[in-house]
Amino acid sequence: LKILVLHGPNLNLLGQREPEIYGYLTLKDVDNLLLEKGKGMGVEVVCFQSNHEGAIVDHIHQASGVYQGIIINAGAYTHTSVAIRDALAGVNLPTVEVHLSNIYRREEFRHHSYIAPISIGQISGFGVDSYLLGLQALVNHVQSLGT
């Protein structure tokens, strides 16, 4: 099983970016924890971060036929990007949306997600655990499909 983890804009700044909201782990820490958890489950995890909407769209397209599912924290593009949503809908891979912070207890503009309606589910508010729980849930989902 191969799972693609996509991180959107500004997540490269993790650890130094508003740490009271996003915590002190770096993106590398997060990726290492995901790789480790994947290994424990016998799952190959590949992580990619970009600040560019088009690069994220390209990676979603390239995931088709290579990966069995996608974990995505689209960052601010969650709230703006029809293009990323359409790419995910277009490749039709099971997708789990994750957020470090609880987007519903923050500013109103973070309450709407373009990704949520095309996702299996969303995990928001648990810091790095959002990703790890998301990975577990996605793997369970894919395995229950028997593929």
Judged by CB under 6 A, which stretch of 37-45, 51-59, 60-68, 95-103 contacts ligand DQA?
95-103
Separation between Cα atoms, residue 99 and residue 121, nearest integer Å: 12
Please say which residue, 106 or 141, places its beta carbon nearer to ligand DQA.
106
Of the candidates 7, 22, 67, 77, the residue annotated as catalytic is 22
141 binds ligand DQA (CB under 6 A): no
CB-based burial, 121-131: b 16+ in 10 Å, e otherwise: ebbbebbbebb
Q: Tell me if residue 59 is catalytic.
A: no
DSSP string of the chain, one letter each residue: -EEEEEE-TTGGGTTTSSHHHH-S--HHHHHHHHHHHHHHHT-EEEEEE-S-HHHHHHHHHHHTTT-SEEEEE-GGGGGT-HHHHHHHHHHT--EEEEESS-GGGS-GGGS--SSGGGSSEEEESSTHHHHHHHHHHHHHHHHHHT-
- How many residues belong to the site for ligand DQA (CB under 6 A)? 10
Of the candidates 67, 77, 99, 131, the residue annotated as catalytic is 99
10 binds ligand DQA (CB under 6 A): yes
User: In the complex, what is the shortest distance from the CB of residue 124 to ligand DQA, in angstroms, rounded to a whole number?
Assistant: 7
Q: Tell me if residue 99 is catalytic.
A: yes
Work out which of 30, 88, 100, 139 binds ligand DQA, going by CB under 6 A.
100
Q: Which residues sit in the known binding site for substrate?
A: 73, 79, 86, 100-101, 110
Catalytic positions, please? 22, 99
Q: Which residues sit in the known binding site?
A: 73, 79, 86, 100-101, 110
* Residues in touch with ligand DQA (CB under 6 A): 10, 73, 75-76, 78, 99-101, 103, 110
